[in-house]
Structure 1
Amino acid sequence: ADAVWRGLSTLAGSWIGGGANQTAMLEVYGYNQALYGGMVFVDIVIANLWMAIILIGIGKSEKIDKWLGADTSAIEALKEKVSNYTQQVSRNPSLTDLMILAAIAFGTVGFAHFGAGYLSAFFTDFVNGLTPGLTRNLFTFLSSSFFWMISITTVIGIILSYTKLRTYEGAGASKFGSVFIYILVATIGMKMDLMLIFDNWQLIIIGAVWMSIHAGLLILVAKLIKAPFFFLAVGSQANVGGAASAPIVASAFHPSLATVGVLLAVFGYAIGTIGAVACTFLMQLAAAG
């Protein structure tokens, strides 16, 4: 439970998706919750430093776009499209709206709990039958009910986004969901001992190297495909910061683009668990080697 790769799996969940994915990795791989505060400390420090760099870059976005050779006409078109959609669905939420949002949220989670119980039981037998031991350890996430609960709720959320229920975004669906994200983070925080970071301060260096690779690849790809700085900044923050900070970065470019930050963050949540599992798979191999 104290293995570093287990702790880094939570960091992968956070930096690919967000808080929910981070919690999923904590539950799936059973990292020692007393040591978890060190990983959260790395997450907060490195992620906020990177966000500060991005915000500084926004003030010089014209120069950066020129250096990237980017065509920003797509951004202007996006501003107009998002503004129009926001105006179409935006409304003051009624009691009915709030009750429907609550029903969707709790109904989805209830169904996910129900389905996760059956799936985790089925895959527990499957995983226990795998040999050798290394292969079995690599697929332990399949026996976690929390993994299946997150996966089921994510799939349902994506499906509902293609129905008329997506208009509830205008009634504050994302804000409603963010409340529960903060509750989730608070409950995790009650189990931490942040002073333990001094027992393993090397984690800060690992986090800095990790983020440097992330930044380097983003800049390289943006330069190659001549992508505007907007997509680099908001796309990065949607992964690293999630729904809490991606809209802030997007709105720094233009207030109407905040929704784009939310949408990219939601996509990050959708792939966060699977992406973090894949990343942890590689870390397990490295640790075993």
Structure 2
Amino acid sequence: MITTGFGYISFLLIFMAIVFIITDKYGHLKLFQVFPAILWIFVGMSLFATFGLFDGNSDSLNGARSMISKDFLPLMLCMFLLTCDVRQVLKLGPRMILAFFCGTISICIGFIVAFIVLKKWLPDFAWAICGAGAGTFIGDTLNMNAAAAALGVTGSDFAYCVLMDTFGYTIWFAFLLSTCSHAMTTWFNKKMKADTSVLEEIAARIGKEQEKKDNTAPNFTELLTLAAVAFAGAWITHFISSKMPTNSFMSISTWRVLISSLIGISLGMTRFHHLKSAATVANVFLYLSLANTASWSNLKECTGAPVFIIFCFIFLFVHLIGMLLASKIFKFDLFTAHVASMANIGGVSSAPIIAAQHNPNYISFGVLMGFIGNIVGTYVVLILAQILRVL
């Protein structure tokens, strides 16, 4: 049994490293393509917790847990979001941004419909679970983690968020990949009367901007500056959030998430946007936060898994209908509809893959559209959670 905070954090980092070493080495296997690292980390940590590896009565261990959830989350948000430059995103043009938000709105409607249909079978705290779970479908794991912290979704409740993330993402990603063929694209564009003439022009403009990016490894000074900026952002977040009023809708945790996100987005429009490896280092804190949340879980309590899987089917179906209607109204081509949808549901890591299936020159579209989800996702899902709460 682990009884100290230092031992606890050490174990989290060791376990995370083992999972990523294995998934990186054997990532070509179907097993690791269907079940990503996030699932292995969450299930693994939940099993350790279920079988009593962590001493829940230890002040030292619980202090470490609190530090990770309270201090490292805003630090991670500041570091991650400074990689998203809103000015670059705007270069996508109004049509691509409109397509993204059509996807966002249809997902929100899908969550509301699924919640109304299934609420009698969902647990009492489902409004917050579904709200946090929506974070990964309007953004990325980053937004799910942030929303869960703001809404107080932990332990076994958070397990349902991870279940929705893994199941919903896998189904939708497979569906989009299967519909990327040239024949499907031609048929879809003809049916929707889509205009694709502006794509090449926008792609060329964005491509030139991406080529200017410095991809060399960061030096010591750059990493130290990155750490200083992130810690300063988290420190400012704690100071401001402690002065903010709280109520049943806005807890101090919610303020921390909102303020640190705003600081990170603001830093993305300064020279700090060019700090190297920000996203890579932020991912360490992201998965540390995820593993920490999982360590409170007891898988024996996760009896509601089937209803959350049905929830995913319902909201994805509504999202599909919504994107088809939007494509018909606004004459979106299949590429635009695909990438807008995946930028919501898969984020920065998956949207470029779908974009590349259509045209390797369009990868930058996926990257920038994925950034929109990182920027707005947390704010959108917190509003969605309150709507579900009222329902």
TM-score by length of 1: 0.80
SS of equivalent to 1:15: coil
Amino acid at match of 1:250: A
Identity of aligned residues (%): 26
Q: Give 1:151 deviation, angstroms.
A: 1.6
Specify which of 293, 318, 328 is matched with residue 188 of structure 1: 293
1:160–1:166 contact (8 Å) kept in structure 2 = yes
Match of 1:21 in 2: 143
Match of 1:93 in 2: 217
Specify which of 23, 38, 59 is matched with residue 160 of structure 2: 38
- CA distance in structure 1 between the partners assigned to 2:293 and 2:134 by the alignment: 17
Amino acid at match of 1:258: I
Specify which of 227, 230, 233 is matched with residue 105 of structure 1: 230
Note closer, same or farther for the CA distance 1:106–1:73 as it changes in structure 2 (3 Å cut). Answer: farther
Cα displacement string for residues 191-231 of structure 1 (whole angstroms, at most 9, x for unaligned residues): 33456544441121122111211221112101211112222
Stretches of structure 1 lacking an aligned partner (at least 5 in a row)? 128-139
Specify which of 77, 96, 100 is matched with residue 201 of structure 2: 77
Q: What RMSD, in angstroms, separates the aligned Cα atoms of the two structures?
A: 2.5
Stretches of structure 2 lacking an aligned partner (at least 5 in a row)? 1-122
Q: Does residue 1:233 correspond to 2:338, yes or no?
A: yes
SS of equivalent to 1:192: coil
SS of equivalent to 1:203: helix
- CA distance in structure 1 between the partners assigned to 2:285 and 2:376 by the alignment: 20
1:123-272 aligned at under 5 Å gives the runs: 123-124=245-246, 127=247, 140-142=248-250, 144-168=251-275, 171-194=276-299, 196-272=301-377
Note closer, same or farther for the CA distance 1:89–1:236 as it changes in structure 2 (3 Å cut). Answer: same
Amino acid at match of 1:156: I
Match of 1:133 in 2: none
Q: Give 1:264 deviation, angstroms.
A: 2.2
Q: Give 1:282 deviation, angstroms.
A: 1.8
1:82–1:257 contact (8 Å) kept in structure 2 = no
Q: Does residue 1:118 correspond to 2:243, yes or no?
A: yes
Q: Which sits farther off after the overlay, 44-53 or 54-63?
A: 54-63
TM-score by length of 2: 0.61
Note closer, same or farther for the CA distance 1:104–1:257 as it changes in structure 2 (3 Å cut). Answer: farther
1:17–1:265 contact (8 Å) kept in structure 2 = yes
- CA distance in structure 1 between the partners assigned to 2:269 and 2:289 by the alignment: 27
SS of equivalent to 1:89: coil
Cα displacement string for residues 50-94 of structure 1 (whole angstroms, at most 9, x for unaligned residues): 111111222343433333222222221222122211211233133
Match of 1:131 in 2: none
SS of equivalent to 1:31: coil
Match of 2:381 in 1: 276
- CA distance in structure 2 between the partners assigned to 1:185 and 1:230 by the alignment: 33
Q: Does residue 1:8 correspond to 2:133, yes or no?
A: no
SS of equivalent to 1:141: coil
- CA distance in structure 2 between the partners assigned to 1:166 and 1:6 by the alignment: 32
Note closer, same or farther for the CA distance 1:187–1:231 as it changes in structure 2 (3 Å cut). Answer: farther
Specify which of 160, 165, 190 is matched with residue 66 of structure 1: 190
Note closer, same or farther for the CA distance 1:21–1:237 as it changes in structure 2 (3 Å cut). Answer: same
Higher helix share: 1
Note closer, same or farther for the CA distance 1:151–1:53 as it changes in structure 2 (3 Å cut). Answer: same
Q: Give 1:13 deviation, angstroms.
A: 2.2
Note closer, same or farther for the CA distance 1:29–1:159 as it changes in structure 2 (3 Å cut). Answer: closer
Q: Which sits farther off after the overlay, 251-260 or 16-25?
A: 251-260
